[in-house]
Structure 1
Amino acid sequence: MAEADTSFLDDDDFTHVINGIRYPRFVTEANLEAMATFDIRDDDIAIVTFPKTGTNWMLEIVTKILSAGGRTDASSDDMVGKLEFQYDDEPRPHHVMLQECASPRVILTHLTPDTAPPGIAHPQNNVKVIVVMRNPKDTAVSYFHFGQKLRSHFARKTPPSWDEFFQLFLAGKYTFGCYFDHVLGWWQKRDDPHFLFLKYEDMKQDLPKAVKTVAAFLQVKLDDASIETIAHACTFSNMKSTLDNSRYEDRTLMARKGIVGDWKTMFTEEQSRLLDSKCKKKLEGTGLQFNFE
């Protein structure tokens, strides 16, 4: 396959490159520099994800667990968005807005350990970090469709075709960089008790189990009935309704199908082979494996 062509992205004001990684334009260099001194509180909960791997799903689960446990009155829609973002209609970046939020804060980020705040990359005391991972094929397809919706919604330059996007994703040249570098960077911390790693596919298979695991990690005691209630509220259809009716434009674009194996509707045999080869090269020997259907 030919080398990924980024020329149409380089000419587009929707993204830019900072320190060799492409970001959406609402992730500024100043915001990234501010991560080094972002103040972490002892009861902070961070949700770390590569884009389109279950960020809002986990946010919904966490906020409902905290609410059921009497820890917060806030809903997922009350939470400040990604830590490193600043939208055009907001006078302050999110990392500044978070300083005014009541505890416990739920902090979302797509950053790698190298670019995230030290208090998230190297948590201390009672800080909790939940890392959600999704198989790269479904991630790519979900990310592609989200990019299409985002650019159409904001009347940006014509988005890449699926073939163009796939080349960029495979080469790690789309926004937020290389999927494999991201997941493996965090996966190295799997033995640190401050971290909980969950896979999107496992959550789909047994959501009540995932809710119970997250509640235990957050040290929130819930009975079985409460866990079942939260799991039901966080099924894809129920969560999609929450997102579709969000007061924030970007959240209304988030949910699409929420299934495992949707990559089969997009991938050619050659693309599947190429990504399988990349998975083997990057993941072999790491202990990290994914289900693709």
Structure 2
Amino acid sequence: MADLRRYRTIVSDSALWADFRIRDGDVVISTPAKCGTTWMQMLCGLLILDTADFGRPLTELSPWLDAVTFDTAAILAELESQQHRRFVKTHTPLDGLPFEAGVTYVCVARDPRDAMLSFENAVANMHPDAVASAGLPPEVSQPPSPDPLERFWLWAEADFAPESATFGVTLANLVHHVRTFWERRDDPRVALFHYADLKADLPGQLRRLATALSIEASPRRIDHLAAAATFDRMRERADELAPGVDANLWRNNKDFFRSGTSGKWLDLLDPAAIERYTRRVAELAPPELAEWLHTGWSGRR
């Protein structure tokens, strides 16, 4: 772990990976916040367990290993006891994770503007009692400014910071996270997905995931499993599938799956602001990555 970059925020610390005993076949789901983490956990669970009936909350099957707001010893013990193929959640980029043979590393990207607005909705939905019980400062559930455009530019123009006194959710951090996967996308251990592609063709993307995980499934089975992972179906099961349900993290579990829509930033940014944002992205990512990050494969010309 000494040669890995350390990522630390008020809710996570990548150093906690040091005590995790990796097994062949493990799946590490590493995504920026609000880019489809729970969705990918659901898809991995469907394929690995070959059922939509998990019998327990998804967050127990696929815990957030390096979260400091949970009992790390209990999480490690739970993972050690699991007999099925393990699939573990993290928001740590690839350069902060042990990169081992026999492990599949899955990342999901999303248009950063959609991720930013989705994160704001999630923060607004956090229950104050859960924030207090986790030992987090009350201001984490409050926006830093009442002006949404000002908040957008604070997010967009902040510097990259692997260690942050807040959640560490900025445009620079998001782009860096995806870039650590993008630069190793030809490695057979890496599987890179995009939120827009999952929305456009969920069965097709589930088939891609099955291939990445070396899981055989018939087209009929893929269609059946994909039907359990639509946004509406997952929202119906929010009490089982939303992260943090065991800690009563949300005011409303269903509101964690608020809408799943894209493009709401168009109501916030005028053409001049979009141009300014585009220039900022160009400072953070090469052109090919920048285009893919905002469109996925299905939306590229």
In the superposition, the TM-score normalised over structure 2's length comes to 0.76
Please name the residue that 1:272 is paired with. Answer: 274
Please name the residue that 1:113 is paired with. Answer: 94
CA distance in 2, matches of 1:80, 1:233: 17
CA distance in 2, matches of 1:20, 1:111: 9
Structure 1 residues 111 and 224 mapped into 2: Cα distance closer, same or farther (>3 Å)? same
Contact (CA 8 Å) 2:31, 2:108: kept in 1 or not?
Answer: yes
How many residues get paired? Answer: 264
Of 200-209 and 170-179, deviating more is: 170-179
Please name the residue that 1:260 is paired with. Answer: 262
What per-residue deviation string (whole Å, max 9, x for no partner) do you get for residues 172-201 of structure 1? 566235111111122111010011111000
Unaligned runs of 5+ in 1: 1-18
Please name the residue that 1:104 is paired with. Answer: 85
Pairwise CA distance, 1:94: 3.4
Pairwise CA distance, 1:250: 3.8
Q: Is residue 238 from structure 1 mapped to residue 224 from structure 2 by the alignment?
A: no
In the superposition, the TM-score normalised over structure 1's length comes to 0.78
SS in structure 2 of the partner of residue 272 of structure 1: helix
Contact (CA 8 Å) 1:80, 1:107: kept in 2 or not?
Answer: yes
Q: Is residue 92 from structure 1 mapped to residue 69 from structure 2 by the alignment?
A: no
2:58 to 66, 71, 76: 76
Contact (CA 8 Å) 1:127, 1:194: kept in 2 or not?
Answer: yes
Please name the residue that 2:111 is paired with. Answer: 135
What per-residue deviation string (whole Å, max 9, x for no partner) do you get for residues 49-103 of structure 1? 0000000001111111112289x98763432421111336x47363454333333
Structure 1 residues 48 and 20 mapped into 2: Cα distance closer, same or farther (>3 Å)? closer
Structure 1 residues 74 and 227 mapped into 2: Cα distance closer, same or farther (>3 Å)? farther
Unaligned runs of 5+ in 2: 133-137
CA distance in 2, matches of 1:245, 1:221: 26
SS in structure 2 of the partner of residue 254 of structure 1: helix
Q: Is residue 188 from structure 1 mapped to residue 183 from structure 2 by the alignment?
A: yes
Please name the residue that 2:12 is paired with. Answer: 27
CA distance in 2, matches of 1:163, 1:67: 43
CA distance in 1, matches of 2:56, 2:240: 16
Identical amino acids, percent of aligned pairs: 23
SS in structure 2 of the partner of residue 46 of structure 1: strand
SS in structure 2 of the partner of residue 35 of structure 1: helix
Structure 1 residues 131 and 213 mapped into 2: Cα distance closer, same or farther (>3 Å)? same
Q: Is residue 65 from structure 1 mapped to residue 65 from structure 2 by the alignment?
A: no
Q: Is residue 169 from structure 1 mapped to residue 146 from structure 2 by the alignment?
A: no
SS in structure 2 of the partner of residue 92 of structure 1: helix
What per-residue deviation string (whole Å, max 9, x for no partner) do you get for residues 187-241 of structure 1? 1110100111110001101111011111121122111121111111111011112
Contact (CA 8 Å) 1:64, 1:75: kept in 2 or not?
Answer: no
1:56 to 20, 31, 38: 38
CA distance in 2, matches of 1:139, 1:129: 21
